A and B are shown apart, each in its own frame.
Chain A
């Protein structure tokens, strides 16, 4: 239902930085309403569990094109779109380090 995940890496910086926490909703209700701009957590066969921003939603074949904010981000531009089956959840709460 809800999972807490720690962010590693900086491809979503400055918005999300290394060490931040996110609360991710895994409820289908939230996953059915993923929109451009949402931040999602998903499994990628090569890179493991990743967190990226949705840049495009392909409703027809249930896929998401994800990107990072950083120019050196490894994202859909390298590994292609993310399928719904690979989805873990959508970020509904961001707890940045700066919230100390």
Chain B
């Protein structure tokens, strides 16, 4: 009865709404996707250099392989940037930034190195991209109280990576 009365008034006058807001955060954040994507960028640069070093004719087989390496490099550089942006935007909170004031700078560096990795075929840039994402991963796991360890990736390019030490 009382509810019906309020409902009727609401239809007539439209009361203000207050949201008991619920998000559905999956809570699954992990920088490993970005790390693997960045490693892939280095791998593609290496494959491009290997193909170039082989010499031979600039035939369609060469163009096909080279364009595929470039396409994968593009895709994974962008993927790494996207993964970092999601963690930065959705997971990182003011208290994390208070504790790790360098975080914005690290993320900005990742964005710039990711773009440069797409624009060029420079291996040093791609390796710096991996390093910057490792820095981010280190901070990320620290915010969750998870210890980390450094170990070489068990595949080419066997660069040193930051892993959660579970």
Contacts and interface: CB of A to CB of B under 8 A. Distances in A.
Q: How many B residues touch the partner, as a band?
A: 20 to 34
B18 A51 contact: yes
B16 A5 contact: yes
B18 A41 contact: yes
Contacts of B3: 21, 95-100
Interface string A54-83: 000000000000001010111000101000
A7 B23 contact: no
Chain A: number of interface residues, binned into ranges: 35 or more
Contact of A73 (B9, B20, B94): B20
A78 B17 contact: no
B19 interface: yes
B25 interface: yes
A41 B21 CA distance: 12
A40 B90 CA distance: 26
B144 to A, nearest CB: 15
Interface in B1-49: 1-4, 6-7, 9-10, 15-25
Given A95-B6, A97-B3, A100-B4, A5 B15 contact: yes
27 contacts: A4-B9, A4-B10, A5-B16, A6-B10, A6-B16, A6-B18, A7-B20, A8-B17, A8-B19, A8-B20, A9-B20, A9-B21, A10-B20, A18-B20, A47-B21, A51-B18, A51-B20, A72-B22, A72-B24, A73-B21, A73-B23, A74-B21, A78-B23, A88-B18, A95-B3, A95-B6, A97-B3
Interface of A: 3-13, 16, 18, 21-22, 41, 47-52, 68, 70, 72-74, 78, 80, 88, 95-100
Given A52-B20, A73-B23, A99-B3, 10 more contacts: A4-B15, A6-B17, A6-B18, A7-B18, A8-B18, A9-B21, A47-B21, A72-B22, A74-B21, A100-B1
